[in-house]
Structure 1
């Protein structure tokens, strides 16, 4: 079972399932979502990845350098435990959003693939995308109801440009993609991105109403 920090309000506000990036922990995405919400209370469950980095600290969803099949398998093993939460009362009668940075962005995408009809939105911040999608996964994306926000820095060399383009093309085919990129930005989170996330969430909530 994954460790997580949970802060959920008993109302109909969006619930964010949050996945941090490589070498970080569950506090990373809490900082992000609090910046997005500014002074508004945000409901979230922020998960800690299962693999601890030796010597350097922090955690990862899959070890650095592992291949596409291992990434899928390890990500889906973590998701298996999370999926049990989706039947709980806190996930009912409210918009539910996956959000993550880097490896956590990949995890958010895998969550949508695991539960194509569950999530109102997925916010993918500089996600990894090694190995692409199978034909079955592409079909699941097409039949999902999830709206996507995909963000990359224009100078991001951590995620290969070809992988960025492949993911963008996959999500564009759904007709539910909002894409943003940020000049003079590497593999990082920047203030304009926070503003774009804020506006995307506001639009999602308005659309849901």
Structure 2
């Protein structure tokens, strides 16, 4: 059983300024840590408070949300366990925030979509950057996502050599079938995040969470 260490979470605002604000959870990629995506917070919509979590498993000097296996197709049970750990953290906040959104990069992006599967109506939106949907979900799980049609921004580069093309195609198809997706491809972008993409993310946030 894995869990989120709340003592190492990096927040975009001090504790006294968080309550009552919409929250976005930042979920880093494999081998990274909680100090990574929090660096995006100054460039993202300021009406949110951002919380960057540390994945529970040690990996290569950083951390991983779940054990690695086939690229773009990890073991479903391990991803589900990681999602349960994040949900336990969300539950611990006990209504401190009116809404909760998700922003994940790479492995963290796959976890964001798994969280939508676990609770399709609990999250205001998901931003998936260079991520993928994990294969192997029971049919009834994805049917619940399709019924909710959560808003998702899917940003990915056409020069990404880390996420297999098959996983990207699977993800675009799944998102089109199950979510209200903004699927944006960035020419020449490798496995990373571009300024144009951040601008598009902010446009997406303005649409799904009007100020």
Quick check: 1:157 aligned with 2:161? yes
The answer on whether the counterparts of 1:102 and 1:125 sit within 8 Å (CA) in structure 2 is: yes
Q: Distance in 1 between matches of 2:70 and 2:156?
A: 22
1:85-96 paired onto structure 2 within 5 Å: 85-87=89-91, 88-91=94-97, 94-96=98-100
The answer on whether the counterparts of 2:133 and 2:174 sit within 8 Å (CA) in structure 1 is: no
SS of the equivalent of 2:96 reads: helix
Q: Distance in 1 between matches of 2:73 and 2:129?
A: 22
1:111-190 paired onto structure 2 within 5 Å: 111-131=115-135, 133-174=137-178, 176-190=180-194
Gaps of 5+ in 2: none
**How many aligned residue pairs are there?**
201
Q: Distance in 2 between matches of 1:84 and 1:63?
A: 20
Structure 1 residue 74, shift from structure 2 partner: 2.0
Aligned to 1:202: 206
Q: 1:102 to 1:70 in 2, by over 3 A?
A: closer
Q: Distance in 2 between matches of 1:100 and 1:68?
A: 15
The answer on whether the counterparts of 1:18 and 1:99 sit within 8 Å (CA) in structure 2 is: yes
Scaled by the length of structure 2, the TM-score of the pair is 0.84
| Of 5, 10, 16, the match for 1:5 | 10
Q: Distance in 2 between matches of 1:182 and 1:102?
A: 15
The answer on whether the counterparts of 2:19 and 2:96 sit within 8 Å (CA) in structure 1 is: no
1:6-85 paired onto structure 2 within 5 Å: 6=11, 7=13, 9-10=17-18, 12-37=20-45, 40=46, 42-53=48-59, 56-65=60-69, 71-85=75-89
Superposed CA RMSD: 2.3
Q: 1:173 to 1:114 in 2, by over 3 A?
A: same
Gaps of 5+ in 1: none
Q: 1:71 to 1:90 in 2, by over 3 A?
A: farther
Q: Distance in 2 between matches of 1:198 and 1:144?
A: 23
